[in-house]
Structure 1
Amino acid sequence: MDATTKKTILKYDGGGLVEQMDEIVTEYPLTIVLNGSEFATLVCTPSDLRDMAIGFLASEGIIRFPDEIESVTIDEKRGFAYVEIGNKQPVAAEFFSKRFIGSCCGKSRQSFYFHNDVKTAKTVTSKAQVTIEQCLYLMELLQQSSSHFQNTGGVHNAALCDRDSLLIVRTDIGRHNTLDKIYGHWLQNRFSLHDKLIVFSGRVSSEVLLKVAKIGIGILISKSAPTDLALQMADELGITVVGFVRGQKLNVYTHAQRIIH
């Protein structure tokens, strides 16, 4: 299935309505069936669906390693991803819906998390550093890499990078889906992440920050703004957040020691 579709529209260009062909991003529901039972339905762009199914399950704490997966079958026409994993124990719904409140006194990152986040979120200890110029350059590369964004304006993009190049680029209507697609691809093609970073087109919410932590990346560079809760989590999880990377400007919000000039 194509990630975009064509539609005839009427466009006002200042002088009147003109009929023209426009490119529209495809919105696609994918239902993950885990060991024979429906687990979740994700609304996404229909590309890299295997990566997204695996990355989503890993982000939710269902799997940790690719060898836990027995099979993945994508029925693109019907919108199903059938995943069989070795652990046949049923997944309790409350595991994914109730907050875990830590018993520690004072500041406790656990009070922010769901049960599965406590299980899978990593405190990042990466010593990697990146220059301001490299941050600006990588964001420019990300913007140039997405023909779907340039043609539709309706998708988000994320890339797993080293300091000089984009290694894995994923596109989706959901900003969090781009990170699941990256995570799923990395799980199937594991390599060192100690010097890697993520460049991202969307707002940095707490959900986005947690997905980056679960992948194990220490630097997140975004074109957009962070939320206060995302920055609290970034402080506690050891993640450098750089936001509003536009033109020749950027803001460094947390763990600034990784950004050098």
Structure 2
Amino acid sequence: MDHDIRYNQTMIRYQDGELIETTDDYVKEFPLTVIVNGHEFATIICSPNNLEELVLGFLASEGVIFKREDLLQLELDDQRGYAHVKVTTDIEQANYLSTKRMVASCCGKSREFYFQNDAAIAKTSMSTIQLSPSQILHMMAQLQAHSKTFIATGGLHNAAISDGNAFYVHRQDIGRHNALDKLYGYCIKRHISVRDKILIFSGRISSEILIKAAKIGVGMIISKSAPTTLAVQLAQDLNITAIGFVREGHFNIYSHPERVDGAPKQLHASQQCRK
């Protein structure tokens, strides 16, 4: 059962030279401990909605499962904050339990953990999707329109997965990685192919977010914010089209522009787009 991710409470606001007692909405922060085959695997700090999708997507991102059939059982005790999971993988033999993990809502795990473990899971995209500039702008406008809780609280990351026309699903979470894992879990649960899909994202495209996109298997990620240099390098290496600063009728293409109608087939170092 999903919980309301918004909470309303009395607070004091300083405005126009006065201190005024009023109320405000803010987002809930929820610890979910994932128990895999009887072992404590990780604690995810998240928003308490779409938790089954979150667990599915997280386990797939970690390489614990590769398809829906690898999951034998998933029971949520969302009152106490536990997800009890049985999988076909022998996690003890695979050395998944060497370190207990706290997956924070702000930045996920450390970069060291990502680069030690993610190379085998991140996929080089084989996507042949082709989009027009107007489709890219429209998708970001749709994401903004769906982000009602963010508008009320200012405390969430928003993400969606699309085929370039309609959204398959929109998800939100206090953790940017969690929002993407919820999308991944949604697709795994419903056996939806992600090869020719696009991630639409509200936050910065960091290297960790780009790796998450590669793990999911999409060929394009678009964001209203900026990419980092390492994210662009990884996007180039993994054949992913990374598009940032999608706002107010413009955007920047940082890698593999050939998937956008009218763009050159490749970028040269001296021609890479800047803000």
TM-score above 0.5, yes or no? yes
Q: Find the aligned partners of 1:162 and 1:61 in 2 and give their Cα distance.
A: 25
Structure 1: distance between partners of 2:150 and 2:91? 41
Q: Deviations over 1:199-221 (max 9, x none)?
A: 00011111111111111100100
2:95 paired with 1:92: yes
Structure 2's unaligned 5+ residue stretches are 101-111, 263-275
Q: Which residue identity lines up with residue 129 of structure 1 in the other structure?
A: Q
* Secondary structure of the corresponding residue to residue 158 of structure 2: strand
Q: Measure how far apart 1:13 and its partner are.
A: 2.6
Question: What is residue 14 of structure 1 aligned with on the other side?
Answer: 16
For 1:177 and 1:2, how far apart are their aligned partners in 2?
17
SS in 2 for 1:260: coil
Query: Are 1:44 and 2:46 an aligned pair?
Result: yes
Sort the Cα spacing of 1:185 and 1:122 in 2 relative to 1 into closer, same or farther, 3 A: same
Q: Please give the residue correspondences for 1:22-101 in structure 2 after superposition, counting only pairs within 5 Å.
A: 22-90=24-92, 91-93=94-96
1:187-202 alignment to 2 at 5 Å?
A: 187-202=188-203
Q: Contact 1:50–1:74 (CA<8 Å) still a contact in 2?
A: yes
* Partner secondary structure for residue 43 of structure 1: strand
Q: Report sequence identity in percent.
A: 44
Quick one: distance in 1 between partners of 2:91 and 2:45?
26
8 A Cα contact 1:132 1:260, kept in partner:
yes
In the TM superposition, what is the alpha-carbon distance from 1:113 to its structure 2 partner?
5.8
Cα distance in 1 for partners of 2:45, 2:198 equals 26
Question: Contact 2:125–2:195 at 8 Å: present in 1 too?
Answer: no
Partner residue, 1:118: 119
Distance 1:95 1:260, change over 3 A: farther
Deviations 1:128-157 (A, max 9, x none): 111111111110110110211010000000
Q: Secondary structure at the match of 2:192?
A: coil
Structure 1, unaligned runs of 5 or more: 98-110
Q: CA 1:193 to 1:89, structure 2 compared with 1: closer, same or farther past 3 Å?
A: closer
| Amino acid of the structure 1 residue aligned with 2:35 | V
The reply to whether residue 180 of structure 1 matches residue 181 of structure 2 is yes
Report if aligned partners of 1:96, 1:115 keep a CA contact under 8 Å in 2. Answer: no
Q: CA deviation at 1:15?
A: 4.4
1:93–1:191 CA distance, 2 compared to 1 (3 A): closer
In structure 2, do the counterparts of structure 1 residues 236 and 65 end up closer, same or farther at CA, with 3 Å as the change threshold?
A: same
Partner amino acid, structure 2, of 1:3: I
Work out whether residues 50 and 184 of structure 1, in 8 Å CA contact, stay in contact via their aligned partners in 2. yes
**Equivalents in 2 of 1:61, 1:21: separation in Å?**
43
Alignment of 1:79-158 (within 5 A): 79-90=81-92, 91-93=94-96, 114-158=115-159
2:187, 2:193 within 8 Å by CA — same for their partners in 1?
A: no
Structure 2 residue aligned with 1:2, among 1, 4, 9?
4
Letter in 2 for 1:60: E
Normalised TM-score (structure 1): 0.90
> Residues 15 and 89 (structure 1 numbering): CA distance in 2 closer, same or farther, change over 3 Å?
closer
SS at match of 1:114: helix
1:103 match: none
Once residues 49 and 138 of structure 1 are traced to their aligned partners in structure 2, the CA distance between those partners, rounded to angstroms, is: 25
Which residue does 2:247 correspond to in 1? Answer: 246
Instruction: Indicate conservation of the 8 Å contact 2:41/2:97, yes or no.
Output: no
SS at 1:130 equivalent? coil
Match of residue 163 from structure 1: 164
Aligned residue type for 1:13: Q
Partner Cα distance (2:188, 2:142) in 1: 24
TM-score, normalised on structure 2? Answer: 0.85
- Give per-residue Cα distances to partners, 1:211-250, cap 9 Å, x unaligned: 1111110010001111111111100000000001111121
Shift of 1:96: 7.7
| TM superposition shift of 1:259 | 1.3
Q: For 2:121 and 2:179, locate their aligned partners in 1 and report how far apart those are by CA, in whole Å.
A: 18
Deviation at 1:115, TM superposition (A): 4.6
Distance 1:260 1:70, change over 3 A: same
